[in-house]
Amino acid sequence: MRNLIVCTFLLLTTVLSTSAQTHFQPGSIVNDNGDTLHGYIDYQQWRKNPKRIKFRQGNEDSPAQSYGLRDITYFSIDKQDAYVRAYVKEDMNSVDPGANEDVKDSFIQDTVFLKVLVIGKRLSLYALTDSKDHYYISDGPGRFNELIYKIHIVQLESGGTREDAVNEFRHQLLEFLPSEDSVSMAERIEGLPFSERPLMRVVKDLNGSSNTTFVNQYAQASPIRVQFYLGAGVSTSSLRFTGNDNGASPMSFNHSVGPLGEIGVDFTINQKWGDIALRLSVAYWTASFSGKENDNQGTDTYKLDMNIITPSVDVMYSFYKSKNMRLYAGLGVGINEASYPTNSYVTHKPGIIAQDTANMRLTPANSWFNLHYRVGGKIANHFGLEVEAIPTGSLTNNVDFKGSVANYSLKVLYYF
């Protein structure tokens, strides 16, 4: 238990001390003079549109400077997101179903960074997230019109309530139909949901492929990314018994070293929660232990070989990202399905034939849980190096004694 507490403390200390690390990615900014500067932007995969960013010009070791709405008109993270400065009018009416009616003076005007979703010669689409999601269309320089969507609660004569959605944004988009004969397009818009990806597709189609100059592929990509991996490495294990039993408890066991193999899949959300991943994995590892005790009555020898298959689920957090590297820490739980090719407790007494009493004394569990930790690095999105620690696992819990196994491994991972 003490080892478990120590490992938990060390992991939390590592994550907290590095969680303030930056995530500099290649990008560029445009200043008020119209000059484009290339370098690295501290990309935080913002849930809400940022008001300031950190930018390094030159290499990743250059000092970072802070730029806000008064300093730059545009910035982009290569192959990911782009933002443009805009003066907009925001409808702050809530889209919460609990909102009963409009607040007439709920419109505010503000200068913000809008996320660029689609740029077209006829129509462009932008997004703003603060207390809710806003979407803006633009049919010319400096013109940003919010797409209006509201939800009302209507009181019924029967005493109940009904939710009514005001889908004004559909009528706003219908004004940009390329022709009156665009029946299929009109039908699509009439059933269009108020969300990012469907709006992007419709605005792109309203422009026509030849009139669309930019589509944010990062925003358009599937929100959940799936990446499989294979891992191989080496692990070291230790075995310990505690309790009042006079058999295995006093024994000191060797540290076992054996191979380890693992297969798994990582699930990440591209936007807003991209630093967090869910991992499902299955590992196979082995351990071989031997202990001996000498007393006045003879010699006791215990040998235990283990073959373990461990399905696990982990939550991992990337505390550092750069152009070609990602560092992460994870916490997970696994269930160890074990078999024991050798389970031999032999007592040697002078003048008496050696007797195997394993079945009477030691019956290891076929299944046992563990809490484990991972710390690793991912390079160029395909290769990784990882350390995993299982500080303790309850192998058996007999009346007189308790057995526990600890395992530490070093793995090389390949993502595909």
pLDDT digits (tens, 9 = 90+) for 233-272: 999 999 888 776 555 666 788 889 999 999 999 998 765 5
Higher pLDDT, 158 or 115: 115
Per DSSP, the three-state class of 29 is: strand
CA gap 89, 107 in Å, rounded: 7
Q: Residue 36 has what pLDDT?
A: 96
Residue 395 has pLDDT above 90, yes or no: no
Model confidence at 15, in pLDDT bands (50, 70, 90)?
very low
Mean pLDDT of 156-178: 84
Please tell me whether residues 268 and 378 are part of one structural domain.
Answer: yes
Last residue of a domain, one of 204, 220, 236: 220
CA gap 307, 259 in Å, rounded: 11
Label the pairing between strands 24-31 and 36-42.
antiparallel
CATH code of 332's domain: 2.40.160.20
Give me the domain span that covers residue 379. Answer: 224-415
Last residue of a domain, one of 205, 220, 235: 220
Please tell me whether residues 132 and 246 are part of one structural domain.
Answer: no
pTM flag (> 0.85): no
pLDDT digits (tens, 9 = 90+) for 23-59: 788 999 999 999 999 999 998 888 899 999 999 997 7
Mean pLDDT of 102-122: 86
Is residue 10, in this structure, part of any structural domain at all?
A: no
Is residue 129, in this structure, part of any structural domain at all?
A: yes
Please tell me whether residues 203 and 129 are part of one structural domain.
Answer: yes
Cβ(192)–Cβ(177) below 8 Å: no
Residue 99 has pLDDT above 70, yes or no: no
Last residue of a domain, one of 220, 237, 258: 220
CA gap 94, 253 in Å, rounded: 65
Please tell me whether residues 269 and 314 are part of one structural domain.
Answer: yes
Average pLDDT, the chain: 84
Please tell me whether residues 233 and 94 are part of one structural domain.
Answer: no
Cβ(302)–Cβ(271) below 8 Å: no
Is residue 106, in this structure, part of any structural domain at all?
A: yes
Higher pLDDT, 104 or 139: 139
Is residue 12, in this structure, part of any structural domain at all?
A: no
Q: Residue 268 has what pLDDT?
A: 85
CA gap 53, 388 in Å, rounded: 35
Q: Residue 18 has what pLDDT?
A: 45
Please tell me whether residues 199 and 275 are part of one structural domain.
Answer: no
Model confidence at 313, in pLDDT bands (50, 70, 90)?
very high
Q: Residue 354 has what pLDDT?
A: 56
Is residue 13, in this structure, part of any structural domain at all?
A: no
Q: Residue 179 has what pLDDT?
A: 76
Phi, psi of 113 (to 5 degrees): -95, 115
Chain centroid to Cα 337, Å, comes to 27
Please tell me whether residues 122 and 249 are part of one structural domain.
Answer: no
Is residue 356, in this structure, part of any structural domain at all?
A: yes
| Both structure tokens of 366 | 């076929």
Q: Residue 201 has what pLDDT?
A: 93
Model confidence at 359, in pLDDT bands (50, 70, 90)?
very low
Q: Residue 220 has what pLDDT?
A: 75
End-to-end CA distance of the chain: give it in Å, rounded: 37
Please tell me whether residues 208 and 274 are part of one structural domain.
Answer: no
Q: Residue 86 has what pLDDT?
A: 97
Partner residues linked to 263 by β-bridges: 230, 282
pLDDT digits (tens, 9 = 90+) for 128-153: 999 889 999 999 988 999 999 988 76
Please tell me whether residues 129 and 232 are part of one structural domain.
Answer: no
Please tell me whether residues 251 and 136 are part of one structural domain.
Answer: no
Domain tally, the chain? 2
Q: Residue 347 has what pLDDT?
A: 78
Place of tokens 């009302």: 152
Per DSSP, the three-state class of 183 is: helix
Q: Residue 104 has what pLDDT?
A: 56
Model confidence at 210, in pLDDT bands (50, 70, 90)?
confident
pLDDT digits (tens, 9 = 90+) for 177-195: 887 667 889 999 999 999 9
Please tell me whether residues 168 and 250 are part of one structural domain.
Answer: no
Please tell me whether residues 260 and 181 are part of one structural domain.
Answer: no
* Range with lowest mean pLDDT among 23-27, 38-42, 71-75, 395-399: 395-399
Q: Residue 199 has what pLDDT?
A: 96
For residue 23, give the DSSP letter.
B
Is residue 279, in this structure, part of any structural domain at all?
A: yes
Is residue 320, in this structure, part of any structural domain at all?
A: yes
Length of the chain: 416
